[in-house]
Structure 1
Amino acid sequence: MRNALAALALLAAGPAFATGLEVQVEGEANGTIKIDLFEDVAPKHVEQITALAAEGQYDGVVFHRVIEGFMAQTGDVQFGKAGGDMRRAGQGGSDRPDLPAEFSDITFGTGVVGMARAQDPNSANSQFFIMFEPGPFLDGQYTVVGKVTEGMDVVDAIKRGEGPNGAVIGQPDTMTKVTVTE
């Protein structure tokens, strides 16, 4: 009995991680994307994105960089809100500090969710991307935070960008509501 109580106390003292995100998407893509988060692989990153989602900061944020055959990027809570100046989308983050990399041996396959960052591996903040196709060249260089478990058809329908940077021209698809799930 004492061991069970000690285990419960230990669990209560630890961080309360969620297990996923439910992302409502509107635009050329319409529907729900369900993401299983890997809190055991990237606990600091999962904690940050679930906190941002719980605060509603991802609601109304666009997919600003979408490259055919590669990935769809979103999560700029500073400059990526629908209706804002899309020329700045992708340049911002959140008010929270950047995160140290949490690299793993998980490969960037179809549906894998990774954290976007600048040149510095320890600069991930709020932006993330979802892989359309495998991208093993990213392995060990970007933090894997989860994987799409439902709604890959919605991901595949996200409006594509143009040029080598994949900037979305016109009206980009939007994450209208992002909910943390248990």
Structure 2
Amino acid sequence: MTEQGRPGQREQFLDGAVQHVLRDGIGTLSLRPVAAALGTSDRMLLYYFGSRDALLTAILDRVGAILMSGLTTSQPQGRVQPDRLLAAMWTLAADPVSEPILRLYLEILGLASARREPFASAAAQVGAEWLGWAQNRVDVEPECRKDTAAGVLAVFDGLLMMRYGIGADESDGAARWAVRHAAGEKGGS
């Protein structure tokens, strides 16, 4: 949709809506609470976005971009061994600033697992972007990059679920274990 109304207003509404879902979640998003949080009406959101689904898609696109930006800026440059990639990704997870976005990411994955749209499409898009990014970062033989990258992402997602479900101490211990095993070390702790 082209910008109508006040210049920049759609972008301001989108920024505010992203902050709203980072604070309150996205699974039960409806226009009235978002509009109230933004100090506007649901009709104004419809004017700028066209529909609830269009607003939701714009939010999911923005969240995906934020996730990729966080991953990209927090990582070492060039190709790295899988254990170093996982360790660097886990550093991002331990950053309190990243917590709301990573919690929202897990919520989106949960909604996607129930085949709810547009969450399933957004999760597939973000997953494909992360996989491509990880494939370009992991330092293994070219024929092993896709599987290795997928493995690193699977471990990261599992560690996130553990962090927000069980606790930081347990997930940090599991991350240390996973990094050691990805590096080829043995041992239980």
Q: TM over 0.5, yes or no?
A: no
Higher RCO (CA < 8 A, seq sep 6+): 1
Structure with greater helix percent: 2
Normalising by the residue count of structure 2, what TM-score does the alignment of the two structures yield? 0.27
